[in-house]
Chains A and B, each alone.
Chain A
Amino acid sequence: MSRRSRPLAFLLKVNITNDVKSTRTLSALPPGQKAVVQRVGGPRALRRRLMEMGLLPGTEIEVIRAAPMRDPIELSLRGYRLSIRLAEAAQVTLAPPVELSSTVATDDHALEQAA
């Protein structure tokens, strides 16, 4: 999947895959792609809510689709579906994909490996 994101990154002139320090957020993750959460930001209420619903650093998530009006988006994590708005997704920082490739991509391993 990281192969698929490369041409897009090239077009946007944003080097996503190689620069470990560049921050990718969940709002920019295209449908069909998976990534591992690095940090959950934003107001306390939002962070608590997201983390209590299992979206926390180390969790692997996949963007399933965007709503017909492009916002909110539907995510798949820990075997269930969650929808959040793009504004909230922008508060979720993703781990660089390099790390993902070294991670066994199952829900349960993701946390242990990242932790």
Chain B
Amino acid sequence: MKGSAAEVAPAEEPQPARPQVVLVGNPNAGKTTLYNALSGSRARVGNYPGITVDVRAARANFGDVVADLLDLPGTYSLAARSAEEEVAVRVTLGHGGEAPAAAIVVVDATALTRSLYLALELLETGLPLVIALNMMDEVEASGATIDSAALERDLGVPVVAIAASKKRGLSALREAVERTLSEPSRPASPELAYDEATQGDVESVARAVTEVWPEEGASTRRSQAWARWALLSLGGDELTDIPARLREVTAEVRERAEVSGRDLEDALIAPRYAFLDAITERALTRGLPRKSRTDRLDSVLLHPAWGLGAFLLVMLVVFQALFSWASPAMDAIGEGIGATQSALQAWLPPGVLTDLLTQGIVGGVGNVLVFVPQIALLFLFVGFLEDSGYLARVAFVIDRLMRSVGLHGRAFVPLLSGFACAVPAVMATRTIESRKDRLLTMMALPLMSCSARLPVYVLLISTVFVANRAVLGPISLGSLILFGIYGFSTLASLTAAAVMRRTVLKGERPPLVMELPPYRWPQLGNLLRAVGARVRSFLVDAGTIILAMSVVLWALLSFPKDHALEARFEAQRADVSAAQAPSPERTRALAALDADEAGAQLRASAAGHFGRLIEPALKPLGFDWRVGVGLIGAFAAREVFVSTMGTVFGIADADETSAPLRQTLTRARREDGSLLFTPLSGISLMVFFVFACQCMSTLAIVRRESGSWRWPALLFTYMTGLAYLFSLLVFQIGRALGYS
């Protein structure tokens, strides 16, 4: 089996194997809270190769027993349709690998019957269980009582009432787990009333299970549990590791049932709920019905009018935070990197190795680190929204709109974050359940105009237009154009999603069946841990790719060095220094020489040659090779386009507001003597930036989140293709209409 549980929790030092305890439960049942409370220590995040299923593992003490505690993504049932769900089931049941010694099922006691469904499914497999009845504080506050002894009798496994966030009941839970671990015995099988015909179906499939997975046939109970799993899961699924024989038998049996007019879903699920209804009936005493805090909040937050207002307000805060609250930290990181570079340069002897270290490596580290503030902030917000229960409401409120372009309601926060930066936004797609929805969102959101494109737009608008000319009252031409670009990019992104939903990511749209959990106060500790885990996983998985690409890009832009050129500029510098006494003027002259040299070297570099090579392809868009070099440089990050243009045109320390760069660009001419930057070629270039995937970090993070290079390759191809096509159209139609 691929990715057994043992791979998830590699032993740090050789020692007798620790028993494994898996934590399972519905989403929002409080698994993470319990996991943190039980392990207390730093958790490691494991990841299955190829699929983004986070399986966290940590050591935890249960009395005298030290065990590996595994935390799996939340789920409502064991039945699986996607590869991710399959992995979770396999780890839980220890299929093909070592079976866990026990499972702790975290049950949301405020939704008792529904939460016990998963526990019952597990019980049917014979896995030793301990049921943790969580959220008991809320149950008590509502005036209800749950008789856990009655549940324990009916289910035949330990049932412990806890409140994970209040750390209540944990020692009783630890004891129960310790007892289960030290006297391993299969819990008694619950008495479920499957009808005879269905039982026959299950037995037929169970024989096939034993055939293809001998270890699952060890007990009738286990093979039958897998048979029920197969009957519910197989057919029209995306599971990858199912033997053909099992598929065949399952399909046959299903067909037979269908022909005789029996409904297998109903026949397998209804007896479970009948059993659960009966036992909760005995154990649960309801309180007096009264309006809960959640009802009161929702009557405002989901109100037809106030609800939309609240939604916009929350989104505005998230957006503002990403857009501006992160920038002080990002600036500080930029300055720190700059300071490190100059310190190293002053300290080390000049040479290629020093350049590699300062420009290539330290610069590359900077390229990675700048993302951290936005990632941390976004996940702090997303974590808060998710744990508080509002994220599900976001999807509820906006689903209608998102669905019209084929996106899930949960895609809204990632899309919005795309305006700030695609990297954290792509990471935020994890809150979307289905892989197809997640991929679709990932592929569409890089078209949202991110904040790195803004400097490029600003430079180009101020170069080719009179940006502050008032056009509509107080609204200037520049801001009008900028507004147009943002609108255009949003439209492009949504259209791309709609098109991909009908083509590459075609398929039955997953239904929206989403719990709206009660509002709860998130735990700060949980949030910070989640942020830490995300940042770490970004640094390790995407950061290394970004760093490597940065170094390659730096090399392309710096090599080969033209030594004759270097010697010539050295001589000119010597002349200037000799001819003039030290003065501000001389410093300026020297700086101008440095800038000229940098420009000349860039032209001689591999990127310079490449720019010339692709010039014939760029000409129909209105660009020349110098813009081509800028585009190559912009691959590191789009805003680098501005400084690369500065270098190409021999302007030192250029940014998007620098007047010398703007003036130089305004005067720049093509080889045939025509102006390079006209309103038409400026618009063409901005359109190119709207579409083009000029960002290696986006590609790196899509690689990380999708688990293969296929998706980033598709992303790059389609975005660059669109960029080329639209720039071509803009420039050629403009020309045909008589603009230049």
**Interface residues, chain A, CB within 8 Å of chain B?**
40, 42-54, 56-58, 65, 67-72, 74, 78-85, 88, 107-108, 111-112, 115
Contacts and interface: CB of A to CB of B under 8 A. Distances in A.
A49 B81 CA distance: 11
Lowest 4 CB-CB distances: which A-B pairs, in order?
A: A69-B400, A80-B111, A81-B516, A52-B77
Nearest to B272: A52
Given A79-B112, A84-B511, A108-B281, A52 B396 contact: no
28 contacts: A40-B266, A43-B511, A44-B265, A45-B81, A47-B265, A48-B79, A48-B232, A48-B265, A48-B269, A49-B513, A50-B513, A51-B270, A54-B113, A54-B117, A67-B307, A67-B400, A68-B305, A68-B307, A68-B308, A72-B396, A72-B512, A79-B113, A81-B518, A84-B513, A88-B512, A107-B113, A108-B277, A115-B274
Contacts of A81: 294, 515-518
Contacts, number: 129
Given A44-B235, A51-B269, A79-B111, A111 B277 contact: yes
B273 A56 contact: yes
Contacts of B232: 48
Contacts of A54: 113-114, 117, 273
Secondary structure class of chain A's binding surface, majority of residues:
mixed
A30 to B, nearest CB: 15
A79 B13 CA distance: 47
A53 B294 CA distance: 20
Interface string B391-422: 01000110111010000000000000000000
A67 B269 contact: no
Nearest to A80: B111
A53 B114 contact: yes
B120 to A, nearest CB: 11
Interface string B284-316: 100000000010001000111101100100000
B400 to A, nearest CB: 4
A59 B583 CA distance: 89
Given A79-B111, A80-B515, 20 more contacts: A40-B266, A43-B508, A44-B235, A48-B79, A51-B265, A51-B269, A52-B77, A52-B269, A53-B515, A54-B273, A65-B302, A80-B111, A81-B518, A83-B392, A83-B514, A83-B515, A85-B511, A108-B284, A111-B277, A112-B274
Nearest to B399: A72
A80 B115 CA distance: 10
B512 A83 contact: yes
B511 A45 contact: yes
Contact of B513 (A53, A57, A71, A79): A53
B398 to A, nearest CB: 8
A82 B308 CA distance: 20
B400 A71 contact: yes
